[in-house]
Structure 1
């Protein structure tokens, strides 16, 4: 069993000036909670500004304990990978570095990092957490809840709530430079390697229930389709033909 000595939080952002402050504030709280219990741990937060055209960079600049990285990839998988690569020094002890992944439109709980590090110190190499959308209309949220098992051993993979040991991440090839499901691909590769993993609802995060996503087939597409099913009318921002 190898104890964690360093934590890196990677947050990809594309024009998220409105939601990014809540995300970074929640990470700051989680970081403080970890420091209270594990003051010896080094923690770095990296926000990858992926083709941002708004004031996201200025938002990050207001946080002295957050590092920013500019990406021109226009691809969430490449953005996540760039954030990890920038934070992992060559020759470092990757068994003792823990990578925590979330999204700029997501708020993490206060014990988010504590829980991930605790599981890592127990010998786990991959932690798959749960996500709940907020600000959904009641009927849509009810339908969403009926279709999502949020207990221990859940079947979901979310880049907005994922943790992985750096050595396992590298051995699995890291986040693929794809616009969708880079989190699923990484999780599958880590599992296939025989690394120890867990799917847990212990540290659930809250993510924005937006209707328009960056790519077709993602979380926003799913929410639009779900809203259409329960309401029998197109949800705000939906098109007549929905894909994904």
Structure 2
């Protein structure tokens, strides 16, 4: 049965993001003003030792909560709990990261899909090219086709109904890949799912992240390797 979406809960984990959190919140606030239903924005400052909290609290309409877990899965989970509380019926949970910038149509597009009955939206991300070398930019461009959603899971651009989130058991307390784990558990429930690049999020192109894996490792170690491997295969053929 299709559920009417009555509100949106945006959840953003942050750990020492004083340089980037401002532009993230500004972009989310722009996206929130584009929709007609209530939008709450919850930023979870997890183990921050810089000015992330002070900066985030300067933005009206943003709820800032502090956590000392140094665990992104715990931060996302806590953020959802704060944002949704006990009234999760009709809530759409939109997830991004504090080092990311969402497009103005981010929530408009997710809600359009939710209205169509989509329960899980897997959005694409692209790195901030200003953080990459010319070689990395060329490699990323060569491996990403405009208009094609590859289906890779990124917590920086993920939306789902609170009903599905709860049924899947929510975010696990993992230091990385908590988004992949959640989506994998959602998949066992056979939700109506769509991968899309129509509301692509720009995320930091940093080469070293908060954990050993994740997107930073992909940009640093895996991106160029994937292109070199593809070139080698073409040469062999």
CA contact (8 A) 2:122 2:151 kept: no
Are 1:85 and 2:81 an aligned pair? yes
- Where do 5+ consecutive residues of structure 1 fail to align? 233-244
Q: Which residue, out of 92, 96, 102, partners 1:102?
A: 96
Number of residues of Structure 1 aligned to a counterpart in Structure 2: 224
**Residue 203 of structure 1: SS of its match in structure 2?**
strand
CA distance in 2, matches of 1:178, 1:113: 26
Residue 26 (structure 1) aligns with: 27
**Residue 204 of structure 1: SS of its match in structure 2?**
strand
Residue 51 (structure 1) aligns with: 47
Are 1:119 and 2:113 an aligned pair? yes
Q: Which residue, out of 159, 163, 167, partners 2:163?
A: 167
Could you report, residue by residue, the CA deviation over 1:146-200 in whole angstroms, capped at 9, with x for unpaired residues?
A: 3345644522110000001001001001111101111111111112101111000
CA contact (8 A) 2:140 2:223 kept: no
Residue 130 (structure 1) aligns with: 124
Residue 2 (structure 1) aligns with: 3
CA distance in 2, matches of 1:108, 1:140: 22
Alignment CA distance shift 1:150-1:197 (3 Å): farther
Question: How does the TM-score come out when normalised to structure 2?
Answer: 0.90
Are 1:15 and 2:33 an aligned pair? no
Question: How does the TM-score come out when normalised to structure 1?
Answer: 0.87
Misfit runs of 4+, over 4 Å: 226-230
Alignment CA distance shift 1:138-1:62 (3 Å): same
Instruction: Please give the root-mean-square deviation of Cα atoms over the aligned residues, in Å.
Output: 1.7
CA distance in 1, matches of 2:45, 2:83: 15
Q: Which residue, out of 47, 69, 88, partners 1:73?
A: 69
CA contact (8 A) 1:12 1:76 kept: yes
Are 1:146 and 2:142 an aligned pair? yes
CA contact (8 A) 1:30 1:109 kept: yes
Residue 242 (structure 1) aligns with: none
1:50 Cα offset (Å)? 0.3
- Where do 5+ consecutive residues of structure 2 fail to align? 229-237
Residue 178 (structure 2) aligns with: 182
Alignment CA distance shift 1:86-1:141 (3 Å): same
Q: Which residue, out of 207, 220, 223, partners 2:216?
A: 220
